[in-house]
Amino acid sequence: MNHFAQLNKQYIGGEWKDGHGQNVLTDKNPYNGEIVAEFRIANLQDIDEAYQAAAHAKEEWDKVNPFTKRAVLERAIAYIEQHEKEITEIIMDELGGTRLKAAFEIGLVKDIIKEAATFPLRMEGKILPSPVDGKENRLYRLPVGVVGVISPFNFPFYLSMKSVAPALGAGNGVVLKPHEDTPITGGTLIAKIFEEAGIPKGLLNVVVTEISEIGDAFVEHPIPRVISFTGSTQVGSHIGQLAAKHFKKAALELGGNSALIVLEDADIDYAVNAAVFSRFTHQGQVCMSANRVIVHQDVYDEFVTKYVNKVSTLKCGNPREEDTIIGPLINKRQVQNLIATVEEGIREGATPILHGDVRGNVVEPIVLSDVTTDMAVAKRELFGPAVCIMKFSTEEEAIRMANDTPFGLSGAVHTANLERGAEFAKKVYTGMIHVNDGTINDEPLVAFGGEKNSGLGRLNGPWSLEEFTTLKWISIQHTPRQFPY
């Protein structure tokens, strides 16, 4: 059970220690309520110490050979591979992830560190021509300095690492604040991995705390130049405004309300499998999840019947059991919010064609039909195992329905005609959309991010390198210049 319970400390300046805050944060297993770990939370003094440590250690990191930096990141991958069993256990215990989910998340983590390990060798500059005689223009790519990372509870290991590893690879110091429901998987586990990999003391710091203790200090502190936040649109908007006020760059990966569209010529059995995976992976707690499944009227009845039949077979309950697909939501508040939205949808006219029970934090699947675009269930992000099925008659109507949301993260379209699918995909206003696939995709080399209220900026591959670096122009005047006076 407590494989990583010793990781219940702050990691600041290369030291494991208790925070100076008054409160103790109790980290609980969302399935059975058992205590995973307890943390003395960090306060403003700890936040300042962490940022100071990162800034100081970044100067040491600057002196490290790029090939040596790459080796450190490669050792982090090796450490994860040696401890996959223990990491799987903590993903199950701390956030209610199934074994399938844990394997999926650990795979994503290894892939993103492999990509980040190339960053020290990709800090390339340019020499550019000048209209001034005798001038040489050099453009240097440099680390921004220190990056503040705030990660969520749903894929905390990956969504922390997605910013931490590239920021380190690009030469920065990092301070990471994991979500209070997942302080180990999203925080101190990552500190342990990089400590074992041999990064300089203080280069990566992890502060476990609560907003009631630190307010906006994590974002407003003068040291970090970039704040990378993954989480809700509401909080992301607040962080974006704070960052702009203090002339920091914000990378914001926010909520979604993705649509999976099934055209009349789709392979229905295949589309059902993609749609079920797109909604019920990690019990629907994925920003890219298909909240809305929009189906052509000619195949609607067949699709709905097959979809409900498949969803009815998904095993719900203990995430430690090998064949469990749907484990618990992260906490009671998330359960209550989901059920309240579903009940509102039913009052507005949605029909619950499947409505499972709620047992503790485990919510059995809820499938709603007769949903229209003006209903609460179609407008909000359903961060749990509930789904809206909607009907359309023309392609134009399907595009209009898919776009009738303030979000624009992911999506999918199913059709026998791949070029028709690609043309349809171009008309859906999202950062990402997939033809004949699910809505949940994330690859280390491909730009990841949303439009509209789903965020700002892109991560992965060269886009992460861009987010976590800056450009500096140094010119050299080789021959005396003629000044006008």
Half-sphere exposure at residue 381, Cβ-oriented, CA atoms within 13 angstroms: 24
Tell me how far apart the alpha carbons of residues 62 and 76 are, in angstroms, rounded to a whole number: 19
Task: Return the closest-CA partner of residue 441 out of 211, 244, 287.
Answer: 287
Q: How far apart are the C-alpha atoms of 356 and 366, rounded to whole Å?
A: 6
Q: Contact, 316 vs 364, CB < 8 A?
A: yes
d(CA 68, CA 354): 55
**What's the distance, Cα to Cα, between the start and end of the chain in Å?**
77
Q: Give CA angle at 435 (444, 274), nearest 5°.
A: 85
Examine the residue annotation and report whether 343 is marked as an active-site residue of this protein.
Answer: no
Distance CA 303, CA 290 (A): 15
List 89, 115, 253, 467, catalytic entry = 253
The C-alpha atoms of residue 342 and residue 465 are separated, in whole angstroms, by 41
C-alpha gyration radius of the chain: 24
How far apart are alpha carbons 412 and 274 in whole angstroms?
Answer: 9
CA angle 259, 264, 266 (to 5 degrees): 75
Cβ atoms 175, 54 nearer than 8 A: yes
Cβ proximity of 40 and 24 under 8 Å: yes
Name the CA dihedral angle for 404, 405, 409, 412, rounded to a multiple of 10 degrees.
-40
Tell me the one-letter amino acid at 401.
M
Place of tokens 């624009």: 408
Active site residues: 253
